[in-house]
A and B are shown apart, each in its own frame.
Chain A
Amino acid sequence: MKKKSVCMLLVLSMALCILPGCGTKSSDTLTVFNYGEYIEPEMLEKFTAETGIKVNYEEATTPEEMYTKYTAGAISYDLLCTSDYMIKRLIDEGQAQEVDFSSMENYGNIDEKFWTLSQSFDPGNKYALPYFWGTVGILYNTKKVSKPVDSWDVLFDGEYAGQIIMQDSMRDSFMVALKYLGYSLNTTDEAQIREAAELLKSQKADVASYLVDEARDEIVAENAVMGVVYSGEAYLGHDFNNDLEYVIPKEGSNLWIDSWIVTSKCKNTEAAKKFLDFLCREDVANANFEFIYYSTPNKAVVDNMDEELRANTAVVPTDESIKGCEVYEALDADTTSLYNNLWKEIKSE
């Protein structure tokens, strides 16, 4: 008898825990999933004030974390902003909804160039709306280097041993080595990947540390002379320390595009589309740009930028500088596990 009631209580409480996850939401609410500090918070309030649509806003740090949270299914997200290769993965897994972007009022604000670049992970531009983009390059201290930096070579020639920071991200570190060796960063050739891994292993002794977000801070604080960073970080780094310069090495690098998708779980697609249209509007895109300082694909914003900012290659990379750059493509399962194993080997050297 007693056992039964305990059991009942257990079942009841578990049911209560699960319920909110599948409860139906009111139709005028959007659940938005984005990277941390990746939108001007006031814009969310503005959107609600203008349209009456409430926004539940959720944040994550890495694409992998987003994927884990999204697929865990505890929260049903309507809109999601993440990086190119993760977008590809989500599209391939049927997690995205087709959206007719051209019917949006502010569709024309997005530079044609980025629709073309997006094709590498979203053929036909059916799912992904470009939000911000940028490159990966070297942020270096001009006062501490003997000659101008223009090649990945400086990270491998030993001249700055112990003063280099690499990205603590498998893909980005391999990218540097692959590009330096003259290969594509999307290569699936095992020999090329192993060669890159060997290079990274031999480089490890010269590396001060493998960092992600702190890389910029360490270079700003002059604990390191140079490091591999994202272009947006580079711009902010320059703000703190005037001696810092950013360069996209001549061998080419990674060009990344973060985009929005409407998830297949989204029921209120009209509201989702309104949100995307809102983000493309010049005043909103500009507010977000001034909050984040990554490169914006929004033509209207770039055209109205002041000259000095537009001349900064970390903010507006020239077509020339991104000539050798490639967008990450999702790697197949075998290549991914090869990457994983080699990365572990590098880290355990």
Chain B
Amino acid sequence: MNKNRVQVLSIPYILWVIGFTVIPLIFVVAKAATNAEGDFTFEYLLAIFDPVHRKALLLSVCLAFISSVICVLISYPAALILKSAKFKDTKIIMFIMILPMWMNFILRILAIQLLISKNGVINHLLSVLHLGQIDIINTPIAIVIGMVYDYLPYMLLPVLNCVLAIPDDIIEAGKDLGAGKFHVLTKILIPLSLSGIGSGITMVFVPSMTEFVIANILGGGKIQLLGNIIEQEFSVSMNWNLGSGLSLTLMIFVLITTLLFGRNSANNRNFVL
């Protein structure tokens, strides 16, 4: 009886997964492993070794890494401050952090573009103050700013959750046993919040690595990430085989990242328990 109900309740989910994950994935794998005539080939699966594709992948991974690191550097201190300040209602703080996510992300990226473009708001202010000009639009820096702006909440929330959950008793105990501020941070706080940082990194690194819209808008079409190439292959070049091949390669990288940080956080949770 109970088993039947579980089966019935799982139907929507199973339908969803089959329709939107399994079947599309089969199509992608099939396209990636065949050429335009439908014959089996490794050509597109190995296309990532083409210098142009390799360069784009490297740039994608590099920008995603920098964005993740910056997100950690912003989120972690913020979480520590919020913990020590002992706000009564952390819900309000969470709310404020999630607030930007209510706005469409493309709109937010367009806003960044307006801010940092050559005749943009920031340059206008700087020129009024006679402080020189910034010229970062259409560079990788602009893309990193966009990624950090867009994905910061995904880092903040897990990190904050994790840090707030660390019992004060443990910190007190550490201090009683003679740990200084530095040791409290490195021996207690950071190890106990690794799981939050891990899931934060997964949630920032993965979308950053597969990103192409931000690169298009803030990179002025001059910077080519792997996501851009895949998008081009599907929409303009109509080479779905190559697009699928590159997508699969990117998926492997995503998988590696998830395993790396996912495992880390799982171990850590066991350790705490």
Contact = CB atoms under 8 A, between A and B. Distances in A.
B236 A170 contact: yes
Contacts, number: 71
A118 to B, nearest CB: 24
Nearest to A17: B19
B7 interface: yes
Interface string A159-197: 000000000111000000000000000000000000000
Given A2-B4, A6-B11, A344 B222 contact: no
Interface stretch (A29-37, A103-111, A208-216, A292-300): A208-216
B3 to A, nearest CB: 9
A74 interface: no
Contacts of B21: none
A344 B232 contact: yes
B127 interface: no
B229 interface: yes
- A-side interface mostly: helix
A62 B119 contact: no
A150 B239 CA distance: 37
Interface in B87-132: 117-120
A9 B12 CA distance: 10
A68 interface: yes
Interface string A54-95: 000000001011011000000000000000000000000000
Interface residues of A, number: 34
A348 interface: yes
A138 interface: no
Nearest to B238: A64
Nearest to B3: A2
Tier of interface size on chain B: 20 to 34
Best-surrounded residue of A17, A218, A221, A344 (most CB of chain B within 10 A):
A344
A250 to B, nearest CB: 27
Contacts of A347: 221-222, 224, 228
A345 interface: yes
Interface in B183-240: 219-222, 224, 228-229, 232, 235-239
Contacts of B239: 337, 340
Nearest to A222: B119
Given A10-B18, A345-B52, A211 B220 contact: yes
Contact of B235 (A64, A222, A223): A64
B55 A210 contact: no
A312 interface: no
B7 A2 contact: yes
Given A14-B19, A64-B236, A210-B222, 7 more contacts: A2-B4, A10-B18, A17-B19, A65-B235, A168-B221, A209-B138, A340-B236
Interface of B: 4, 7, 11, 14-15, 18-19, 52, 55-56, 117-120, 137-138, 219-222, 224, 228-229, 232, 235-239
11 contacts: A6-B7, A9-B11, A10-B14, A10-B15, A208-B118, A208-B138, A209-B222, A210-B222, A211-B221, A337-B239, A348-B56
